[in-house]
Structure 1
């Protein structure tokens, strides 16, 4: 079973969307997708209501997800770790124990925009349009990831 982890800051906006989108594109018998945050702000909480709404609007249910914080053991559990921005990247790589751990960490938008190191903007402090925009970015990247993995 191939395991993929999506990571953002709080695990309530971007990574739950990426988690739900990629999960919807991969066969569940061969892939496991999860998400986490680099912070401990929202442990046990549902995704942001705006993330839930944009996911639902696109036919994806993310209400079964709950916020959790990234743990060092996640390097052992996951084959791929996709982060949403440079800050998440630095935070996760700082926890890496070796080069093998570090090699698992990738900026998700490098899948759709190779080597550009673009970031998925955090829509938390904005309106609903930011969540729609983030959904589109993540859907494009997750489509490419699913094609590579399938």
Structure 2
């Protein structure tokens, strides 16, 4: 990554309808607020093809809306081999996603893969829990974790890039 290039950030969970689009939308808003839209490319993907083309889970969108974050425009896709060359950061939500992404990608590009919560040690855990089968409090918890990690991620990128 040089200062003249854009930085690519890809958020990855299982189905790309709850956790990764939440991170995508939260990070996008932070990037917009920082005036870095032309410097940071953001996307999200899933390790499974369950929901390709679908919008985020309605509960994720409702939680986002309550925090003035838009995400209805996002659509699920499956992570691809080419993502290892198009994104500088491939940020997974849990151990299972990490293993699947590592298996998919070329060994020389594994350094691009990390856990989103690596950027939020204050959260005190490595995995962002999947709220899909739970109630509304799970979506709120995911948003809180993701907001902390995304703010720290943006700070890290800005520092590395000298922005």
**In 2, distance between residues paired with 1:47 and 1:55?**
10
The CA deviation at 1:46 is: 0.4
2:134 to 116, 126, 132: 126
Q: 2:22 aligns with which of 17, 31, 34?
A: 17
CA distance in 2, matches of 1:104, 1:59: 30
Match of 1:8 among 3, 8, 13: 13
Q: State the TM-score, normalizing by the size of structure 1.
A: 0.95
Distance 2:150 2:41 in 1: 14
**Alignment partners' CA distance in 1, 2:118 and 2:157:** 15
| Deviation >4 Å, runs of 4+ | none
What's the CA shift for 1:98?
2.1
Mapping for residues 1-150 of structure 1, pairs under 5 Å: 1-26=6-31, 27-99=36-108, 101-113=109-121, 118-150=126-158
Q: CA deviation at 1:117?
A: 6.0
Residues 107 and 117, structure 1, Cα contact 8 Å, conserved in 2 = no
Aligned Cα RMSD in Å? Answer: 1.2
Q: CA deviation at 1:136?
A: 0.0
Residue 96 of structure 1, CA deviation: 1.7
Give structure 2 stretches of 5+ with no counterpart: 1-5, 159-163
Per-residue Cα deviation, 1:44-85 (whole angstroms, up to 9, x for no partner): 000000110111111110011000000101111101000000
Aligned residues: 148
CA distance in 1, matches of 2:23, 2:71: 10
